[in-house]
A and B are shown apart, each in its own frame.
Chain A
């Protein structure tokens, strides 16, 4: 996802939100470039945060600032380095992504792939070579939590003491998913979910969403701008959400036999990605219903379905909703481990509350 921000002022980072982090790094960069006493920039950073929150986008923006040729206004958005960054072809910028083997070739795969030993070797060699056009070389390692042990161990030395011209930027989901030896070698920055209003605003201004769309997606996104943009670009994903909700409503009215049949179907699909997406949507739904019961309808996520939310809020007791939310959470946890998928889904479906007539 390469984005260009032609209307940005010099010094402004091409990211929405995360201002606290960008200000901090910007300041460190200024001090470093002004030759302040002692270097304030770290040789390695680790950006943590939930998926699609903008970790790589942020790392890319930081790389742009590091590589910019204008020392006082980096990133200036007009020099050659900034233009090359925007088009994704800066020769001193590297992005290492998890890869999967397909027909003996490595292809980028962020779902099932991993960071491999041969990539570590290429990185080590690349780091030893001097930069080509600018004074620095920036290497972004994406999804460190997907690194295999060989990769992680091989890069330890480079990560600890890279050559002076190299800055390493690492992204990962959370601290626990990364080897402690990696964490301890980096300056850690935990990126936080973005503000709802900020996402809605960004979707409208940058990605041309309508007001209603932007409002709905911002509420559903849970602070993940990347998720919202993906939904916006891919209408099929949005239809999927409505489909999952409709399934839920249908199952609420269905008898046990029908519910078990559905659980069987779902288990036979063997598509965990799809299953977790459904669970997530269901959870957001029950949260909304609970909020509606407490007269907090304003805070609901699924704002396009207010009638249905109200109906459920009136017909299902808050006690059973809370119990079912706990079940949802529990079943989700089970499904992430090795359990019998069919059994877990049976439980999920049987515990589904019934609306009182």
Chain B
């Protein structure tokens, strides 16, 4: 292998795949990054057996070849190089990668590329014509927004693997994502283009993988859609993200493929817990409410994050309003009153302030709707102006001890 590329590109590529490098000590090859030179591009790959990230960057290839080298060493080394051309050469017999950039030279001892796990790629999946893989396209900004609005609700408790995932459903030209940790639920849905199967497809993707996807797509070319594939055996989902390669400023990648293993389980039927009716419907300004919850959180964080919300409808004299109160036994308390459009009955209900902040900071629309029935029943929060089937969030109330 003999190849040269720009330091910015390589540093960018390594920062993208570096997140997938495993810390598992039992398989040393997983602590390495695969470098493969071919067709005037450099392919970088890393996997922790849950998520695999492959990144292609521009390079000038004289001799094709591949090797795996320790991820941390390579990344830190490349990051400390000046922004110039890097020449790499592989000594096949000793499996050593020689790097040269400006006045610096280095030799990295590697592991044979053959012992690196095979990460399926777009080509290998689509090459098989009779494979009925699901294939759709999404705008990268829209996808990122969808992911952000859902993943925070997923559980982080490893011993309940199902809830650490996001249920992704492709059905009737729509893509739906849902995540829950048992206390709150986020559901986001959008229309999609592409080759959808006749029967609905549902898979559970680890929330971590989707967060990673959102992170990578921040650097993506907004004009080219992200492609999504689900393999026939339904064991992997693949996202293909196109980069802004060709622009010379800073580092850029050609494209990235993110492959994630899927969680093999049944997702709880969350539709059953979405409230069908409401007694009180409150419309309030999103940013004002978010600010108010943040203030309340300062006091609530000592007291199990409990924020008490009193909702009063207009009564001819006063307009409808919402008051948020939080108390800390040692620190003090705070009350905040907001004007709101309230329909229905009076209500006093407590929520976890943290959960409210999580959801409100993901809503871009100027106003939100809060629908509640009783202090002991879940409340529904969604942005005003878009349909209920686009985005909704359900949060369980808390029972403050009095």
Complex partner residue of A124 from B27, B158, B235, B236, CB under 8 angstroms: B158
| Inter-chain contact B49/A128, CB cutoff 8 Å | no
Smallest CB separation, A96 vs chain B (Å) = 9
| Inter-chain contact A130/B26, CB cutoff 8 Å | no
A165 beta carbon closer than 8 Å to chain B: yes
**Cα–Cα distance between A310 and B56 once the two chains are bound (Å):** 75
A125 beta carbon closer than 8 Å to chain B: yes
**Cα–Cα distance between A154 and B263 once the two chains are bound (Å):** 19
A residues within 8 A CB of B265?
A: 128, 163
B residues within 8 A CB of A132?
A: 49, 117-118, 261
**Cα–Cα distance between A43 and B236 once the two chains are bound (Å):** 23
A-B interface pairs (CB < 8 A), number: 63
Q: Tell me the B83-129 residues at the A interface (CB within 8 Å).
A: 114-115, 117-118
**Cα–Cα distance between A121 and B262 once the two chains are bound (Å):** 17
| Inter-chain contact B159/A130, CB cutoff 8 Å | no
Known: A120-B159, A122-B158. A88 touches B27 (CB 8 A): yes
Report the nearest A residue to B115, measured CB to CB.
Answer: A89
| Inter-chain contact B235/A125, CB cutoff 8 Å | no
Known: A84-B115, A89-B115, A133-B118. A125 touches B27 (CB 8 A): no
Q: Chain A: interface residue count, which band?
A: 20 to 34
Report the nearest A residue to B260, measured CB to CB.
Answer: A129
Smallest CB separation, B113 vs chain A (Å) = 12
Complex partner residue of B264 from A88, A89, A121, A129, CB under 8 angstroms: A129
**Cα–Cα distance between A129 and B114 once the two chains are bound (Å):** 23
B29 beta carbon closer than 8 Å to chain A: yes
Smallest CB separation, A349 vs chain B (Å) = 44
B397 beta carbon closer than 8 Å to chain A: no
A87 beta carbon closer than 8 Å to chain B: yes
A residues within 8 A CB of B29?
A: 89
Q: Tell me the B262-294 residues at the A interface (CB within 8 Å).
A: 262-265
Complex partner residue of B162 from A80, A94, A126, A128, CB under 8 angstroms: A128
Q: Which residues of A contact B (CB under 8 A)?
A: 80, 83-84, 87-89, 91, 94-95, 120-122, 124-133, 154, 163-165
Can you list 15 pairs linking A and B with CB atoms under 8 Å apart? A80-B118, A89-B29, A94-B26, A121-B158, A121-B159, A122-B158, A124-B158, A124-B161, A129-B50, A129-B262, A130-B233, A130-B261, A131-B235, A133-B118, A165-B264
5 nearest A-B residue pairs (beta carbon): A130-B235, A128-B161, A91-B117, A121-B158, A129-B261
